[in-house]
Amino acid sequence: MALALPSDLFAASSGDLKADDLVGVSFWMISMALVAATAFFFLEIQRVSAKWKTSLTVSGLVTLVAASHYFYMRDVWVTTGDSPTVFRYIDWIITVPLLMVEFYLILSAITKVPIGVFWRLMIGTLVMLIGGYLGEAGKLNVWVGFTIGMVGWFYIIWEIFAGEAGKINAKSAPPSVQVAFNLMRWIVVVGWAIYPIGYYLGYLTGSSPQDSMVLLNVTYNLADVVNKIAFGVIIWTAAVSESDKNTAKAN
Protein backbone atom coordinates (compact mmCIF):
# COMPACT_ATOMS: atom_id res chain seq x y z
CA MET A 1 0.00 0.00 0.00
CA ALA A 2 1.13 3.53 -0.74
CA LEU A 3 -0.23 5.00 2.48
CA ALA A 4 3.08 5.51 4.21
CA LEU A 5 3.97 9.19 4.17
CA PRO A 6 7.57 10.34 4.13
CA SER A 7 8.58 11.17 7.65
CA ASP A 8 9.72 14.69 6.79
CA LEU A 9 6.13 15.47 5.90
CA PHE A 10 5.08 14.76 9.47
CA ALA A 11 7.94 16.77 10.82
CA ALA A 12 7.15 19.66 8.49
CA SER A 13 3.69 20.12 10.02
CA SER A 14 5.37 21.64 13.06
CA GLY A 15 8.68 22.70 11.63
CA ASP A 16 11.64 20.41 11.74
CA LEU A 17 12.71 19.73 15.30
CA LYS A 18 16.44 19.09 15.46
CA ALA A 19 17.73 16.75 18.15
CA ASP A 20 20.32 19.33 19.20
CA ASP A 21 17.82 22.18 19.46
CA LEU A 22 17.70 22.46 23.23
CA VAL A 23 15.12 25.25 23.24
CA GLY A 24 12.90 23.48 20.69
CA VAL A 25 13.01 20.23 22.66
CA SER A 26 12.16 22.08 25.88
CA PHE A 27 9.14 23.68 24.16
CA TRP A 28 7.90 20.22 23.10
CA MET A 29 8.45 18.57 26.46
CA ILE A 30 6.86 21.35 28.45
CA SER A 31 3.85 21.60 26.16
CA MET A 32 3.18 17.90 26.88
CA ALA A 33 3.78 18.32 30.62
CA LEU A 34 1.28 21.21 30.64
CA VAL A 35 -1.34 19.07 28.89
CA ALA A 36 -0.83 16.26 31.41
CA ALA A 37 -0.97 18.68 34.34
CA THR A 38 -4.24 20.14 33.02
CA ALA A 39 -5.85 16.68 32.84
CA PHE A 40 -4.60 15.92 36.34
CA PHE A 41 -5.89 19.11 37.99
CA PHE A 42 -9.29 18.83 36.31
CA LEU A 43 -9.68 15.15 37.24
CA GLU A 44 -8.73 15.79 40.86
CA ILE A 45 -11.47 18.41 41.28
CA GLN A 46 -13.97 15.69 42.21
CA ARG A 47 -11.71 14.47 45.00
CA VAL A 48 -11.51 17.66 47.09
CA SER A 49 -14.09 19.45 49.21
CA ALA A 50 -16.28 22.19 47.74
CA LYS A 51 -14.27 25.23 48.80
CA TRP A 52 -11.12 23.90 47.11
CA LYS A 53 -12.68 22.99 43.78
CA THR A 54 -12.32 26.48 42.28
CA SER A 55 -8.62 26.56 43.18
CA LEU A 56 -7.99 23.35 41.25
CA THR A 57 -10.09 24.65 38.36
CA VAL A 58 -7.94 27.78 38.21
CA SER A 59 -4.72 25.70 38.34
CA GLY A 60 -6.01 23.65 35.41
CA LEU A 61 -6.94 26.80 33.47
CA VAL A 62 -3.42 28.18 33.95
CA THR A 63 -1.83 25.04 32.53
CA LEU A 64 -4.45 24.80 29.77
CA VAL A 65 -3.89 28.37 28.57
CA ALA A 66 -0.12 27.87 28.80
CA ALA A 67 -0.21 24.54 26.93
CA SER A 68 -2.06 26.19 24.03
CA HIS A 69 0.48 29.01 23.90
CA TYR A 70 3.35 26.55 24.09
CA PHE A 71 2.16 24.91 20.87
CA TYR A 72 2.36 28.27 19.11
CA MET A 73 5.63 29.32 20.75
CA ARG A 74 7.17 25.99 19.85
CA ASP A 75 6.25 26.50 16.19
CA VAL A 76 7.62 30.04 16.11
CA TRP A 77 10.90 28.86 17.59
CA VAL A 78 11.28 25.68 15.53
CA THR A 79 10.37 27.28 12.20
CA THR A 80 12.04 30.70 12.59
CA GLY A 81 14.56 30.40 15.44
CA ASP A 82 13.12 33.65 16.87
CA SER A 83 11.90 34.30 20.38
CA PRO A 84 8.09 34.09 20.52
CA THR A 85 7.88 37.28 22.57
CA VAL A 86 4.32 38.26 21.67
CA PHE A 87 2.88 34.80 22.43
CA ARG A 88 4.93 34.68 25.62
CA TYR A 89 3.48 37.93 26.94
CA ILE A 90 -0.07 37.13 25.80
CA ASP A 91 0.30 33.95 27.85
CA TRP A 92 1.64 35.80 30.90
CA ILE A 93 -1.00 38.55 30.76
CA ILE A 94 -3.65 35.80 31.08
CA THR A 95 -1.94 33.30 33.38
CA VAL A 96 -0.30 35.62 35.93
CA PRO A 97 -3.62 37.30 36.84
CA LEU A 98 -5.09 33.79 37.16
CA LEU A 99 -2.31 32.94 39.61
CA MET A 100 -3.22 36.10 41.53
CA VAL A 101 -6.82 34.88 41.63
CA GLU A 102 -5.40 31.69 43.10
CA PHE A 103 -3.78 33.59 45.96
CA TYR A 104 -7.00 35.35 46.63
CA LEU A 105 -8.94 32.05 46.62
CA ILE A 106 -6.52 30.40 49.04
CA LEU A 107 -7.06 33.28 51.46
CA SER A 108 -10.80 33.34 50.84
CA ALA A 109 -11.05 29.61 51.64
CA ILE A 110 -10.31 30.61 55.24
CA THR A 111 -11.58 34.09 55.80
CA LYS A 112 -13.25 37.14 54.28
CA VAL A 113 -10.66 39.04 52.25
CA PRO A 114 -11.07 42.70 51.22
CA ILE A 115 -11.29 42.98 47.43
CA GLY A 116 -8.62 45.71 47.57
CA VAL A 117 -6.00 43.00 48.16
CA PHE A 118 -6.93 41.43 44.85
CA TRP A 119 -6.76 44.71 42.92
CA ARG A 120 -3.38 45.63 44.39
CA LEU A 121 -1.94 42.28 43.32
CA MET A 122 -3.40 42.90 39.84
CA ILE A 123 -1.87 46.36 39.56
CA GLY A 124 1.55 45.00 40.54
CA THR A 125 1.15 42.30 37.88
CA LEU A 126 0.28 44.78 35.13
CA VAL A 127 3.19 47.10 35.94
CA MET A 128 5.56 44.11 35.96
CA LEU A 129 4.39 42.67 32.64
CA ILE A 130 3.90 45.91 30.72
CA GLY A 131 7.38 47.11 31.74
CA GLY A 132 8.92 43.79 30.70
CA TYR A 133 7.07 43.70 27.39
CA LEU A 134 8.01 47.24 26.38
CA GLY A 135 11.64 46.41 27.15
CA GLU A 136 11.65 43.12 25.23
CA ALA A 137 9.74 44.52 22.25
CA GLY A 138 12.21 47.38 21.88
CA LYS A 139 9.62 50.08 22.69
CA LEU A 140 11.60 51.13 25.72
CA ASN A 141 15.27 50.97 26.62
CA VAL A 142 15.89 47.39 27.88
CA TRP A 143 17.13 48.61 31.27
CA VAL A 144 14.17 50.96 31.74
CA GLY A 145 11.70 48.16 30.91
CA PHE A 146 13.55 45.84 33.27
CA THR A 147 13.46 48.38 36.10
CA ILE A 148 9.72 49.04 35.71
CA GLY A 149 9.13 45.27 35.73
CA MET A 150 11.19 44.89 38.91
CA VAL A 151 9.20 47.63 40.64
CA GLY A 152 5.93 45.80 39.88
CA TRP A 153 7.33 42.50 41.14
CA PHE A 154 8.69 44.04 44.38
CA TYR A 155 5.31 45.61 44.99
CA ILE A 156 3.63 42.16 44.75
CA ILE A 157 6.23 40.70 47.14
CA TRP A 158 5.63 43.54 49.58
CA GLU A 159 1.86 42.97 49.47
CA ILE A 160 2.04 39.23 50.18
CA PHE A 161 4.63 39.53 52.95
CA ALA A 162 4.02 42.85 54.69
CA GLY A 163 0.73 44.11 53.22
CA GLU A 164 -2.84 43.16 53.97
CA ALA A 165 -2.64 39.75 52.25
CA GLY A 166 0.30 38.71 54.44
CA LYS A 167 -1.39 39.77 57.66
CA ILE A 168 -4.66 38.01 56.89
CA ASN A 169 -2.93 34.71 56.37
CA ALA A 170 -0.79 34.90 59.48
CA LYS A 171 -3.81 35.50 61.70
CA SER A 172 -6.48 33.10 60.59
CA ALA A 173 -5.28 30.16 58.51
CA PRO A 174 -5.22 26.51 59.61
CA PRO A 175 -1.69 25.00 59.55
CA SER A 176 -1.87 23.22 56.19
CA VAL A 177 -3.19 26.36 54.49
CA GLN A 178 -0.44 28.40 56.11
CA VAL A 179 2.09 25.93 54.75
CA ALA A 180 0.58 26.24 51.28
CA PHE A 181 0.43 30.02 51.54
CA ASN A 182 4.07 30.19 52.65
CA LEU A 183 5.16 27.92 49.82
CA MET A 184 3.24 30.06 47.40
CA ARG A 185 4.95 33.17 48.72
CA TRP A 186 8.33 31.57 48.16
CA ILE A 187 7.25 30.63 44.66
CA VAL A 188 6.57 34.31 43.97
CA VAL A 189 10.00 35.25 45.35
CA VAL A 190 12.25 32.37 44.29
CA GLY A 191 10.26 30.79 41.43
CA TRP A 192 9.38 34.12 39.83
CA ALA A 193 12.98 35.36 40.21
CA ILE A 194 13.87 32.98 37.38
CA TYR A 195 12.04 35.31 34.93
CA PRO A 196 14.11 38.47 35.53
CA ILE A 197 17.21 36.25 35.38
CA GLY A 198 16.00 35.09 31.95
CA TYR A 199 15.45 38.70 30.86
CA TYR A 200 18.91 39.61 32.11
CA LEU A 201 20.53 36.71 30.20
CA GLY A 202 18.53 37.61 27.10
CA TYR A 203 19.19 41.33 26.85
CA LEU A 204 21.62 42.67 29.39
CA THR A 205 24.81 40.59 29.19
CA GLY A 206 26.05 41.91 25.84
CA SER A 207 26.60 38.41 24.39
CA SER A 208 25.58 37.46 20.82
CA PRO A 209 21.83 37.65 20.00
CA GLN A 210 21.69 33.92 19.11
CA ASP A 211 23.24 32.76 22.39
CA SER A 212 21.15 35.24 24.35
CA MET A 213 17.87 34.02 22.84
CA VAL A 214 18.72 30.40 23.66
CA LEU A 215 19.40 31.34 27.28
CA LEU A 216 16.32 33.55 27.50
CA ASN A 217 13.95 30.86 26.24
CA VAL A 218 15.43 27.95 28.18
CA THR A 219 15.25 30.04 31.34
CA TYR A 220 11.67 31.23 30.77
CA ASN A 221 10.60 27.66 29.93
CA LEU A 222 12.15 26.26 33.09
CA ALA A 223 10.48 29.06 35.06
CA ASP A 224 7.08 28.04 33.66
CA VAL A 225 7.52 24.45 34.85
CA VAL A 226 8.17 25.69 38.38
CA ASN A 227 5.54 28.41 38.46
CA LYS A 228 2.67 26.80 36.59
CA ILE A 229 2.98 23.07 37.21
CA ALA A 230 4.74 22.98 40.59
CA PHE A 231 2.61 25.87 41.85
CA GLY A 232 -0.54 23.91 40.93
CA VAL A 233 0.77 20.80 42.65
CA ILE A 234 1.33 22.79 45.86
CA ILE A 235 -2.27 23.93 45.81
CA TRP A 236 -3.42 20.40 45.05
CA THR A 237 -1.44 19.12 48.09
CA ALA A 238 -3.09 21.64 50.42
CA ALA A 239 -6.52 20.95 48.93
CA VAL A 240 -6.22 17.19 49.36
CA SER A 241 -4.88 17.33 52.91
CA GLU A 242 -7.51 19.87 54.05
CA SER A 243 -10.29 17.87 52.38
CA ASP A 244 -9.16 14.56 53.91
CA LYS A 245 -9.05 16.17 57.32
CA ASN A 246 -12.62 17.38 56.99
CA THR A 247 -13.81 13.97 55.82
CA ALA A 248 -12.11 12.33 58.83
CA LYS A 249 -13.91 14.80 61.13
CA ALA A 250 -17.28 14.10 59.54
CA ASN A 251 -16.99 10.31 59.97
Ligand X SMILES: *C/C=C(C)/C=C/C=C(C)/C=C/C1=C(C)CCCC1(C)C
Give bridge partners of residue 13 from the DSSP assignment: 15
Provide, rounded to whole angstroms, the least separation between the CB of residue 124 and ligand X. 10
Q: Which one of 8-16, 46-54, 73-81, 90-98 is the stretch in contact with ligand X (CB under 6 A)?
A: 90-98
110 Rama sector, left if φ>0, alpha if ψ -120 to 50, beta otherwise: alpha
- Looking at 104, 118, 199, 236, which residue binds ligand X (CB under 6 A)? 199
- Looking at 117, 227, 229, 242, which residue binds ligand X (CB under 6 A)? 227
Go through 127-144 and write b for each residue having 16 or more CB atoms within 10 A of its CB, e for each that does not: bbbbbbbbbbeeebebee
Provide, rounded to whole angstroms, the least separation between the CB of residue 31 and ligand X. 14
Q: Give the residue closest to ligand X by C-beta.
A: 132
Cα-Cα end-to-end distance for the chain: 63
Contact call for residue 87 and ligand X (CB under 6 A): no
Q: By C-beta, is 90 or 179 nearer to ligand X?
A: 90
Contact 87, 125 (CB under 8 A): no
Give the footprint of ligand X on residues 134-193 (CB under 6 A): 146, 149-150, 153, 192
Q: Which one of 2-10, 16-24, 92-100, 109-117 is the stretch in contact with ligand X (CB under 6 A)?
A: 92-100
Q: By C-beta, is 146 or 236 nearer to ligand X?
A: 146
Give the containing element (helix H, strand E) for 62.
Answer: helix 50-80
The residue among 239, 109, 234, 104 whose CA lies nearest residue 182 is 234
Contact call for residue 224 and ligand X (CB under 6 A): yes
Residue 110 CB coordination number (10 Å): 18
Contact call for residue 217 and ligand X (CB under 6 A): no
- Looking at 84, 124, 166, 196, which residue binds ligand X (CB under 6 A)? 196
Contact 124, 149 (CB under 8 A): no
Provide, rounded to whole angstroms, the least separation between the CB of residue 95 and ligand X. 4
- Residue 15 three-state SS: strand
Provide, rounded to whole angstroms, the least separation between the CB of residue 139 and ligand X. 13
Give 116's contacts (C-beta < 8 A, 6+ positions apart). Answer: 164
- Looking at 37, 128, 213, 235, which residue binds ligand X (CB under 6 A)? 128
Contacting residues toward ligand X, per CB under 6 A = 92, 95-96, 99, 128-129, 132, 146, 149-150, 153, 192, 195-196, 199, 224, 227-228
